[in-house]
């Protein structure tokens, strides 16, 4: 079959939308007609080269759609199901899966980073050349074939744009609050970076009844949407540490989240944590970068530093719990959605995102 998809042919070039041949799903695979896909920085890191990846690649890893067909031995979804795509498939049998940490499952890491399906092959071709899949999903395509482990059925009542964000930003952000940090009600929270993940952290902090939620972003355009998501204060980054201490009785925040992935910001965020508090690193830093955190202060002030990958989530459980919170109006995900774009506008979508466009952009198919 033929599909139109967004392809990166070389680092630093524009993304190109072209026609590709897409093979039928093999055993254990699912054909999904995409309806929405989030404009996430993780794909942009491939464009800039911050995340090395085999090329050419069909980008996109935050998406939702409807199952159009299934291969042999698929028993988790059926034709017509609404699905949210999970970029961290798990085997259910390894050490991490059996210890409740499926997002850390290593079983499928090698083929996903190689840009292939789980069997080591690809499903996209153009003029006889194979193209790679980003994160096993390649959801910047009108149709895509994904492993059944990546498909999680969601209620039809959840809009596709909301469902797409559940697949990455929202689960990463809300999970960082609920699963990684286990933020207690009444706590003070500071969030560095108000992109999709940062805004989702704010939603999560509001969900657990944090008393003070301080959003920090150098883009003043982010203030309105940060407050809409639940922030009680907004700082533009200037003297952020001192101002966070002023807002928390001179101590610093109980929990500080870094949602950008920049070592310099991570180091500043550490300073904003009160003694006995926690820094949660939810942003993905460039491969090979290093963050310099003072070990002496970690010890003397008993500060905890935690990494949070995919919100320490169990996607098959957490996606549905987040959907339930949304449907019950406890988690207003729709409030963090910004501009909507067609697939042909994908370069515009990324340029506006990088320049500080408010809210999470979404490609609508």
* Active-site residue list: 40, 42, 45, 61, 168
Q: Residue 234 is encoded by which pair of tokens?
A: 């907004």
Please report where in the chains the tokens 């940090």 appear, as a residue. Answer: 181
Alpha helices in the chain (DSSP H): 41-48, 95-98, 109-113, 160-166, 169-175, 196-207, 223-229, 240-247, 263-271, 295-300, 315-327, 346-354
Residue (of 139, 149, 153, 138) closest to 67 by Cα position: 153
Helix axes 263-271, 240-247, angle to 10 degrees: 30
Distances (CA, A) of 225 to 95, 306, 315: 40, 27, 26
Residue (of 356, 335, 352) closest to 169 by Cα position: 335
Beta strands 143-147; 29-38: pairing state = antiparallel
Check if the beta carbon of residue 129 is closer than 8 Å to that of residue 332. Answer: no
């Amino acid at each position: 079959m033929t599909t139109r998809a967004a392809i990166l042919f070389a680092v630093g070039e524009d993304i190109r939308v072209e026609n590709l041949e897409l093979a039928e799903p093999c055993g254990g695979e699912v054909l999904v007609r995409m309806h929405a896909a989030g404009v996430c920085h993780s794909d942009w890191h491939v464009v800039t080269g911050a995340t090395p990846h085999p090329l050419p690649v069909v980008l996109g890893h935050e998406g939702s759609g409807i199952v159009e067909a299934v291969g042999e031995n698929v028993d988790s979804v059926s034709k017509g199901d609404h699905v949210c795509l999970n970029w961290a498939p798990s085997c259910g049998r390894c050490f991490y899966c059996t210890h409740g940490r499926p997002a850390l499952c290593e079983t499928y890491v090698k083929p996903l980073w190689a840009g292939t399906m789980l069997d080591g092959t690809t499903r996209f071709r153009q003029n006889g050349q194979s193209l790679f899949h980003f994160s096993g999903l390649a959801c910047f395509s009108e149709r895509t074939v994904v492993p059944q482990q990546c498909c999680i059925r969601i209620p039809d009542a959840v809009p596709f744009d909301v469902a797409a964000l559940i697949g990455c930003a929202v689960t990463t952000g809300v999970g960082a609050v609920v699963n990684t940090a286990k933020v207690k009600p009444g706590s003070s929270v500071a969030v560095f970076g108000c992109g999709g993940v940062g805004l989702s952290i704010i939603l999560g902090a509001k969900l657990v009844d944090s008393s003070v939620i301080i959003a920090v972003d150098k883009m003043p355009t982010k203030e309105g949407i940060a407050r809409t998501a639940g922030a009680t204060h907004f700082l533009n980054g200037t003297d952020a540490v001192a101002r966070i201490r002023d807002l928390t009785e001179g101590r610093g925040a109980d929990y500080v989240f870094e949602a950008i992935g920049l070592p310099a910001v991570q180091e500043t965020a550490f300073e904003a944590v009160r003694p006995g508090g926690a820094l949660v690193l939810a942003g993905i830093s460039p491969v090979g970068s290093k963050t310099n955190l003072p070990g002496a202060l970690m010890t003397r002030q008993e500060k905890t530093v935690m990494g949070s990958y995919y919100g320490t989530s169990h996607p098959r459980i957490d996606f549905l719990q987040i959907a339930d919170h949304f449907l019950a109006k406890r988690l207003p995900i729709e409030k963090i959605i910004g501009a909507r774009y067609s697939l042909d506008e994908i370069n515009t979508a990324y340029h506006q995102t990088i320049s500080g466009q408010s809210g999470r952009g979404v490609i609508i198919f």
